[in-house]
Amino acid sequence: MLKRYIQENRKSIFITVVFTVALYAVMLLGNRISIDTEVMINNPEGQLNAWYGINRFGLGLFKHVFHLIPISIPFTNVMTVLFFIFAAISWNYSLVTLQKVQNTKAVFVFLLIFVSSPIFAEQFHFTLQSMEIAFALGAEAIAVILVSRWVEKKGIYHAIAAVLLLAFCFSCYQAFVFLYVFACLLLYLIRQEEKETSGKEQVEEIFKYILVLLAAFVLYEAAATAIKASMGLESGKYLTNQILWGQEPVLYTLCRVIAYTGFIMTGFMSSFHPFLPVLYLFFAVVLYKKWQKKGGQSFLKLASLAGLMIVPFILPAVMGNTVPIRAQFCIPILLSWLGYFFVKSNEKGKIFRYARICVILMLVLQTIAVPALELSAWRCYEKDKAFAKEVEAAAGDIQPEEKLVFVGKYTPNHMIKGQTMGHSFFEWDADTAFGSNYRIHGFMETLGIKYQLPTQQEYEQARQYAEKLPSWKEKKAVYTENGLRIIKLSD
C-alpha cells in the first residue's frame, strides 16, 4: 500500500518538498531565535529540568539521545523542516489510504494546505523544541496508522507499538493527546463512509481507540512520575497556573473562553482566514444529506462529526483560559482533510463549488501568510540585535556585575504578526510585574552582553525614577540611579 501511495503521488510529494522549503526559506537561512530559545542557549540544563517538571520529558530525552546540547539553530531549523515534511506525508497517508478510491489531485491539495498552515509556523517558531515537535507530529501519524491496522483486526503488536509511540508524543507536548482523540473521530467517520459496519463492530472500533489512548496515557504519566522522582524534581506549575477556574470570577473566565472560540472560528491571527467554520458547515451538510439518503444517521456518527469541531475547544473549556494557537494541531489537519474531501468529490452542486472556491482562497492566503510571518520574525530579530548593540554603545562598557533595568517596551517591528512571531524580546512580557527584563536579559546574554538582573524592589524604584526621564525615542541615553543602569524604552 505504501509503495503504491508513493508511486501514485510522487510528483505531489516532490512539489510539496519544494513548496515547504520555499515557505520556510527565511527560517532556514535567517538563523534567528525566538522567545524561550534564549533560555535553552544560556541555561540548557535549567530548561531541560523545567520540561521534566511539566512532564515533557520526551523533549529532554530527545536532546540527550541525539546529542543536541548545546542547541544548533541552523541544524535544528533544517531538521524541523525535514521532519515536518515527513509528518505531512504521514498524516496524508494515514487518512487517504483508508479509502478505496484515491485522488492524486486531492492528495496534493491536502499536502499543500497542511504544510502552509500558519499554526504550524507558530509552533516551529519556538526553535528550542521545533525539531522535537515536528518529529512527534510525524510519530503520532504513524501511531494512528498502527491503531488503524489493529482496528482492521491485524496483530496486537500494532496496538503495542502505537501505545509506545503515543506515550512518547504526549511526553513532548500534551496537545498530542487531543490530536489523537481528533484523529480517532476522523478515522471513524472515514471508515463508516467507506463501508458502514454493524453497531457491534462500531462499538468495538471505538473501544480499541479508547483502550490505546488510556494505555498510552497511563504509560506516559508513570514514566513522567518516575523520571521526576529519580531526579528529585517537583512538578512545575507552568501548566496548572494557566487554569483560571477558581482563580478568576466565573463570568470573566466564561468570557475568555467565548472570546477564544471566536478567535479560532474567525481565523484571526491563527489560520489567517475564516474558512474553518465555513468548510466544516459544508462538510456537515453533505454528510448529513448522504446519511439521510442511506436511511438515517446513527448517534455515533453525529457525535463524531460534532466532535471534530469540539475537540479543539476541550482544553480551553477545562482550563477556563485561552490556549496558544500553536497547540491547536487539530485545526490544520481538519482543514487539510476538508480540502481533500471537496477536491476529491466529483459532485458539482453549489455546496461543492463554493467549498472548492474556499479551498483555493484558503491555500492562497496561507501561502502568503507563512513566508510573511517568517520574514517578520527574522526582521524583528535583526532589529532586536541592532537595538541591543545600540544600548550597549550608549551604556559604554557594561560590566557583568552591573545591573541594567529596562522600563517600558520597544516595538521595532510593524509587519504582520502572529501570537509570537514578529514580536520583540524588548516588548514580550512588558505588562507583567517585572516588565520585559527577564526576556531582555536572556536575549542580551545570547549576544555576549552580560549583566545582572535587578530585584523586584529595584525594578519598582527604577520605574518610579524613569517617570521623569525622556524615553529612548526622545533621547538615546542610559541613566544611573542608586547603582542601577536604567534604560527607558517607552512612557
What digits encode the pLDDT tens for the residues 410-427? 999 889 999 999 999 999
Burial of 258 (0-12, 13-18, 19+ CB in 10 A): exposed
> Does a structural domain hold residue 353?
no
Residue 146 confidence (pLDDT): 96
Do 335 and 383 lie in one domain? The reply is no
- Helix crossing, 199-231 with 44-53: angle to 10°? 130
370, part of any domain: no
pLDDT at 484 over 90: yes
Indicate if 379 and 317 belong to the same structural domain: no
Average pLDDT over residues 456-474: 94
Q: Is residue 360 part of a domain?
A: no
pLDDT category of residue 457 using cuts at 50, 70 and 90: very high
Half-sphere exposure of 46 (CA within 13 A, CB side): 9
Q: Are 210 and 288 found together in one domain?
A: yes
Asked if 152 and 46 sit in the same domain, the reply is yes
Contact 437, 459 (CB under 8 A): yes
What is the extent of the structural domain holding 166?
A: 2-345
Residue-wise pLDDT for 317-328, tens only, equals 988 988 899 999
Of 345, 364, 386, which residue is a domain's last? 345
Residues 379 and 429 in one domain: yes
Task: Give a yes or no: residue 367 inside a domain.
Answer: no
Q: Residue 93: what pLDDT? A: 95
Give me the amino acid identity at 201.
E
Q: CB atoms < 10 A from the CB of 210, how many?
A: 12
pLDDT-derived band at 315 (thresholds 50, 70, 90) equals confident
Percent of the chain with pLDDT over 90: 78
In a domain, 366, yes or no: no
Mean per-residue pLDDT, 202-221:
96
* Residue 351 is assigned to a structural domain of this protein: no
pLDDT of 463 strictly over 70 = yes
In angstroms, the CA 336 to CA 116 distance is 10
CB 94 within 8 A of CB 103: no
Q: Is the pLDDT of residue 271 over 90?
A: no
Same domain, 328 and 400: no
Does one domain contain both 400 and 306? no
**437 with 325, same domain?**
no
Q: According to the model, what pLDDT value does residue 97 have?
A: 82
pLDDT at 239: 74
Cβ 270 vs Cβ 369: under 8 Å: no
Same domain, 334 and 416: no
327 assigned to some structural domain:
yes
Q: 407 and 329: one domain?
A: no
380 plus 336 within the same structural domain: no
Q: Is residue 433 part of a domain?
A: yes
> What mean pLDDT comes out for the span 395-399?
89
pLDDT value of residue 238: 79
Identify the pLDDT of residue 297.
Answer: 64
Number of domains in the chain: 2
Q: Which residues contact 299 (CB under 8 A, 6 or more apart)?
A: none
Residue 127 shares a structural domain with residue 35: yes
